[in-house]
Amino acid sequence: MTTVRITMAQALTRYMAAQQIRQFDGSAAPAFAGVWAIFGHGNVAGLGEALYAEKDRLPTFRGHNEQSMAHAAISYAKQKNRRQLMAVTSSIGPGATNMVTAAALAHVNRLPVLFLPGDVFADRRPDPVLQQIEDFTDGTVSANDCFKPVTRYFDRITRPEQLLKALPKTMSIFCDPAMTGPVCLSLCQDVQAEAYEFPVVFFTPKIWEIPRPRGDAAMLAAASEKLAAANRPLLIAGGGVRYSGAQSRLAAFAARTGIPVAMTQAGKSALPDSHEQVVGSLGVTGASAANKLASSADVILSVGSRLQDFTTGSNALFSGEMISINVQTHDAIKHDAVALTGDADETLAALDEALADFAICTDYADEIRSLQNAWSEDVKAVTAAPETGRQNKNALPSDSQVIGAVNRAAPENAIVVGAAGSMPGELHKLWQTGQTDGYHMEYGFSCMGYEVAAGIGVHMACPDRPNLVFAGDGSYLMMNSELATAVMMGISFTLVITDNRGFGCINRLQAATGGAAFNNLFVDSTHNQLPDIDYAGHAASMGAQAVKVGDIAELEAEVRRAVNAGGVQVVVIETDPGPSTAAGGAWWDVVPPAVSERKGMASVRSAYQQGREGQNMGRQSN
């Protein structure tokens, strides 16, 4: 057997550079599009040297915060529909633990990313090394054990040859649609630099295939029978539609059968909003049309959704029978569904074939059109710009008016990006996607601070499509450092910062659950002086082109200019933290206190208990 004497870190990077993944079009692309790195004593000498040697095949990118670097990597994998990914490396200590939140985000959203934190010395000679966590009862524990509950696979590399087993296992996780998610290879810093005689064949280029299992024949027959007998079927499009490349299949199936399609946060833009069967978003942040159809559907076909509480209205929205297509059995069995464990595209094709003669009745089709038209009017009303001459210059715009302005200014192929706070709920309801894969929302973990870094990842994944990033002032203050990274890298995106002077979304939730205004908006927090933050000036100081606008008309014009200008563009607008779109939505289980001295809390608690009575506990979301 021919071998080559190289370090563990060199073997790791050579292997990564040799891996490819089959794409939807049949071509093969590098599995790893690059590595995000902040170096420290735990990874600079070993992995840093190895990455330098492979920089032409495996580029290294430098960020400013380990968590946000990982967000950029994760957003890239999401926009690539999990067919390419990135790795992220840090030193030991705070660099490693900074990445744990991002690992949890990737785990919840089922998105592949490789974490490569440095670790303590395997030989323990300098024990305790700088930044080492010392467990008084277990000498094998390090800070990197925090990754174990938030990764699909964890391995601590204490010998170079362990890579021969760990790396193929890692790739198998990334390429298994049912198991994909974050992997952590914890790299003992002395072992990174240790040499071993690795088999040359280990570094032979390999193309990994993403399997496409089709649902069980018996379950397919049962599902087809239920759908064929349905009077009011509804289809839920989840993220799995996009990850399996089933957009065209879904479009054709819905058009032929007439079955209406409601979309989750992850599934939105699986079809453009202009598709005749799209009835809008579903659930707590859903459209009136979609939610009304969901509540009265006799059969619901869920395609690629994990059916979390925002989708199901905390298990109070659905009463019909469920059929679920999902590659992960854990998700497919939820809500006592007929479980079609398989690839969305393949299994939907089988259902389409079995239901060749099925189409919804005329009365149901007419009802769908009526609900669509009514919802369209609702969207127009709340997103419309104030009438010329009637705009109150002292009144701040709502989030929905901001969305309307940006949507009107955005090109049809734009990708809208967001995460936590007010915007995901409003965008899910109101944003009109012009093309497939044009909606990129991180709402599985709802992680504040994802937005700016995600703008980088989305641009790297789709450099030919403009992306528009929404972030509230709270998210921007929490994590904005990668704005400088974006400028350094020549990234293009337009960041819209909505300044409502606090955490407006949770302030509204606090009020809705009977709470007093407390600790969310600046004005309701304990401060000696209210801050007056110049967000445009701050963004400009990091190299962005930044401007603050005074009203909706200025916003629309500035966004149109910014998108065409390219580069990192920031547009700031002050908004009213109070209003949100009243139309649409569904009940959400947020528990007010059973005992309170505050007047009015008893009635809030009573209304909550009535809402709970509507939950279908026989069909839980698990």
Q: How far apart are CA 207 and CA 30, in angstroms?
A: 9
pLDDT tens digits, one per residue of 108-152: 999 999 999 999 999 999 999 999 999 999 999 999 999 999 999
Q: Which amino acid is at 360?
A: I
Q: Which fold has domain 3-208?
A: Rossmann fold (3.40.50)
Q: Where in the chain is the domain with CATH 3.40.50.1220?
A: 217-374
Q: Stretch 365-370: mean pLDDT, rounded?
A: 98
pLDDT in tens, 97-107: 999 999 999 99
The predicted pLDDT at position 50 comes to 98
335: left (phi over 0), alpha (psi -120 to 50) or beta: left
Indicate whether 390 pLDDT > 60. Answer: no
Pairing of strands 545-549, 568-574: parallel
Q: Note the pLDDT of residue 294.
A: 97
**163-190 burial by CB neighbour count: b if 16+ within 10 A, else e?**
beebbeebbebbbbbbebbbbbbbbbbb
The DSSP 8-state label assigned to residue 324 in this structure reads E
Global pTM reads 0.96
Q: How do residues 243-297 score in pLDDT, each as one tens digit?
A: 999 999 999 999 999 999 999 999 999 999 999 999 999 999 999 999 999 999 9
For residue 622, what pLDDT is reported?
43
Q: Taking residues 220-236, what's their average pLDDT?
A: 97
Please name the residue that has the structure tokens 């007998």. 229
Residue 391 has pLDDT above 80, yes or no: no
pLDDT at 530 over 90: no
Over range 212-221, report the average pLDDT: 95
Asked if the 384-574 domain carries CATH number 3.40.50.970, the reply is yes
Q: According to the model, what pLDDT value does residue 566 have? A: 93
Residues of the chain with CATH 3.40.50.970: 3-208, 384-574
Which amino acid would we find at residue 381? A
Q: Which CATH superfamily is domain 217-374 in?
A: TPP-binding domain (3.40.50.1220)
Q: With CA atoms as reference, report the closest residue to 484 among 417, 534, 540, 563.
A: 540
Q: Is the peptide bond before 168 cis (omega within 30 degrees of 0)?
A: no
pLDDT in tens, 515-526: 988 998 988 888
- Let me know if 403 is exposed, middle or buried by CB neighbors in 10 A (0-12, 13-18, 19+): buried
Assess contact for 378 and 583: CB atoms under 8 A. yes
Q: Which tens digit of pLDDT belongs to each residue from 585-613?
A: 998 899 999 998 888 888 989 989 988 98
Q: Is 116 exposed, middle or buried (0-12, 13-18, 19+ CB in 10 A)?
A: buried
